[in-house]
A and B are shown apart, each in its own frame.
Chain A
Amino acid sequence: MAAPKRGRRPAGGQGKPGRTLVLILIALVALTGGMFATGDTTPRLGIDLAGGTTITLKAKAEPGKESAVNETNMNTAVGILERRVNGLGVSEAEVQTQGRSHIIVNIPKGTDSEQARRQVGTTAQLYFRPVLQVAAGAPVPQQPTPGASESGKPAEGKDAKDAKDGDKASPSASTGTSAQPGGSTPQGRAVTDALKDPSPGASEPGKPAEGAKDGKDGKDAAKTPDPAPTGDVAALQTAFATLNCEDQKARAAVTESARPENPMVSCGKNSAGQWEKYLLGPAEVDGKDVDDAKGQFDQNRGIWIVTMDFTDKGSKKFQKITSKLSQQQSPANQFAIVLDGEVVSAPQVNQTLTANAEISGSFNQKSAQELGNMLSYGALPLTFQEESVTTVSAALGGEQLRAGLIAGAIGLALVIIYLVAYYRGLAAIAILSLLVSAALTYVLMSLLGPAIGFALNLPAVCGAIVAIGITADSFIVYFERIRDEVREGRTLRPAVERAWPRARRTILVSDFVSFLAAAVLFIVTVGKVQGFAFTLGLTTLLDVVVVFFFTKPLMTLAARSKFFGGGHPWSGLDPKRLGVEPPLRRSRRTTVVTTDLKEA
């Protein structure tokens, strides 16, 4: 394809067409054998045909950091997302880059696609910020939004009351965690998580962390702690006072402009699913400083906790912030784990911590593991934006595949009918070639599934159907050439050979244009379009292979047969029908032609 003008010798020239045919058939058999050997006997189906969820993310170029969207960062992000998705126990989920700034996450049916989506889509940038002030997020206590974690449900009523009354938090137990004797208070996750050193002593009740019990309920926090270090605090105070966390737009607005080095206002939900608003200091620790984090079950206390390990650099920073925070009064002894502008957790600090730390609170298995995942994989080098999410049920996917296959079969049948009607016997050669082409396409698609991750999606099915036309076009170009030669009075054998070099050039030039279109489409586009372009390019290449190594030799063989070579009326090469009028021009094989004309 790359060099269509290169004068390739006619494949299996007149001398040994049989050998070429045998070769391509052997290749076909070998590939089919390979397909069965690998056990992948059907093409891998895309999410839109098999059912599942596809998430398309786009890296956002941040002002002043446009060059951050580069290959290295994209690959890092893919790695992180992959670990994160698989960290959820999602099997066979795929994460791939597409184009320069897109990442596609495919989650097959049968996994918790909603949860995966939430993590994949929302987890972007993670910072640890000191908490300056906390307040209830909404003017009136409201029902928890549907997204509230289950763990919060049972505690909900109580918490709502707490917020109203301005009471100190009572050590109310929440689902999955038994309140321990005098232990940390596991009521609102965001606000009440406690942070401590997981050193042996840490698991004992009665450690400093127990101070967690002390009030740091939303209302309580209204008293302002230390003044924030920067000058624009007044503006932030106003923003803090007016912020209504129930309003998604307002939430987005305050976090939008926040920079890690400046204080910010943010919202977060407590375990009851209620919004709390926070006034936060500048980021002290970066998500990248977290080496590892996981949700773990603490056997001693019978509760779920999240453990964190910091990198060397991270430990230093963490030590600094914890030593400072542990001196503060509540709520300023908390730091907020801010993910993508939203507070996911705000544990309080009661001691100076270094490399290892744990967060305890009202976690259940799910929320502990989620937070662990966010912490360990949260440090994406880029900010991503969810561009499209497609969820297809297996039933509808199957139906679409069926419709595509039926349409393809009918399209193929129409092409065959047309070819038979127009080319008569010649159509047999075209049909055989189409079948070989179809078989090769199928086998290659099956093999390419595991090899390069090719998945047959709906546009790819479309591409394959459209390719029937492209493939048939090549035969038409060749057949018409042969007929032109026959019209000029040649008999079939020389006609077949003389027509070939010219047809070959036309086929190569036009296939090259098709291939070019497919290649450009494949390179510049994203998502579904790529599947289409890939199929189109693949079938165009196969078209060249089939025409060169199958159709041409087969035609040469056919020309030797009496049916074709003799110009049988049904062969499609009947000279009389093609308008060759006697007297025929002097030709080497005039006799044959005249004999056949009598027959006709």
Chain B
Amino acid sequence: MSRLGTIGARLHRGEIGYDFVAKRWLWYGVSILITIVAIAGLAIRGLNMGIEFKGGAVFTTPKTSASVSVVQESAAEASGHHAIVQKLGNGTLRVQVSELDTQQATKVQTVLAKDLDVPADKINKELVGPSWGKEIANKAWTGLGIFMILVVIYLAIAFEWRMALAALIALIHDLTITVGVYAIVGFEVTPGTVIGLLTILGYSLYDTVVVFDGLKEGAVGITKQTRWTYSEIANRSLNGTLVRSINTTVVALLPVAGLLFIGGGFLGAGMLNDISLSLFVGLAAGAYSSIFIATPLVADLKERDPQMKALRKRVLAKRAAAAARGESPDAEDLADTGGDEPDALDGDAAPAGAGVVAPRGGRGRGRSAGRRR
């Protein structure tokens, strides 16, 4: 852990740093690839929709020693439909029968109770009409739409439209990946999954917002300096908030993992598992996208802005001039822009020495990154 702390310190000072922004095309490529796989998986395999979407009944029995095949047979016989029986972690059985109506369901319940030699009221019954899941899914889509519109408006106000757009793309990216994982692995889609998926919305954005907040702060007064282009500043901010992002993601994932592996382990399946599984996949995708996709996208969009274009020109011209003179660019930079470098730009920074700690290593990096392009 403390190694991460040391890395944090070095990231903070700009001694090390991964150039996310410069290598963005690599990560865009990775994401596009994953997205294609996800969409292909969805198209080919489709989603394994739970009983809530098809209509039918789910019975959960108390702990039993009865074998799966026996129960399957008697359930199928009692209902006249195919039954799916799963043994859960705690020794209980989950029996799913599709297309049942109320009376048939009661019959199956009675038969199961007799077979397992338990009172009928010890067997839980969940009966759903075929439109129930559709209802939930429809509401989910509505919610998704409303949320996206609101959040884009909010981010556009709190930050700017480019960030809002990048956040939205990252969000869609996370949702696609999560749905793709469901299609490819064949996990069952239940209302719990839909809940989890919707929660990813808030969560995936949490990380993105933390990074954007750092970026916004880092970019204050950017046009008044000539040392870094927007992309370089974006990359520095990203590296600066990297430890924070990793920590928030880890901490968010830990309870979800607890739910998924421990809660699920006790019960085997059900709501707890459904929610936590989609959260787990979505959170991981969300962390990835906020680092590798969202910020580089903002940088890309921002570089199209005339002001930023002009800045880039100035920065490059200055570097070229310095190189031509054969001077150490660092010394000069320090002399003429010392007080202006991003870390010290936010008004309330102590003027003394703010430039001493931060720029040392980062500049070399930023420079080489700039040149490469």
Contacts and interface: CB of A to CB of B under 8 A. Distances in A.
Interface of A: 4-5, 48, 56, 58, 99, 102, 114, 117, 121, 145-147, 248, 385-393, 395-396, 399-400, 402-404, 406-408, 410-412, 414-415, 418-419, 421-422, 458-459, 461-462, 465-466, 468-470, 472-473, 476-477, 480, 483-484, 487-489, 498, 501-502, 505-506, 509-510, 512-518, 520-521, 523-529, 532, 536, 577-580, 585-586
B209 A510 contact: yes
Given A513-B206, A525-B143, A579-B6, A391 B125 contact: yes
8 contacts: A147-B103, A400-B272, A403-B267, A408-B255, A459-B275, A472-B251, A529-B136, A529-B140
A406 B143 contact: no
Contact of B127 (A389, A395, A578): A389
A578 B9 contact: yes
Nearest to A4: B158
Given A387-B131, A393-B123, A586-B352, A458 B272 contact: yes
Given A465-B255, A480-B244, A403 B146 contact: no
Give the bracket for the number of chain B residues in contact with chain A. 35 or more
Interface stretch (B42-50, B173-181, B191-199): B191-199
A505 B198 contact: no
Interface string B253-292: 1111111001100110011100110010000000000000
A56 B126 CA distance: 11
- Main secondary structure on A side of the interface with B: helix
Given A418-B251, A506-B209, A526 B256 contact: no
Nearest to B353: A585
Given A5-B158, A404-B263, A585-B357, A521 B198 contact: yes
A470 B132 contact: no
A226 to B, nearest CB: 36
Nearest to A529: B195
A501 B150 CA distance: 25
A516 B251 contact: no
Contacts of A529: 136, 139-140, 191, 194-195, 198
B210 A579 contact: no
A531 to B, nearest CB: 10
B154 A516 contact: yes
B348 to A, nearest CB: 7
B307 interface: no
Contacts of A527: 136, 191
Given A410-B262, A473-B206, A388 B126 contact: yes
A395 to B, nearest CB: 6
B202 interface: yes
Given A411-B255, A516-B150, A418 B205 contact: no
A468 B255 contact: yes
Nearest to B247: A476
B244 A388 contact: no
B87 interface: no
A415 B255 contact: yes
B122 A393 contact: yes
B143 A520 contact: yes
B68 interface: no
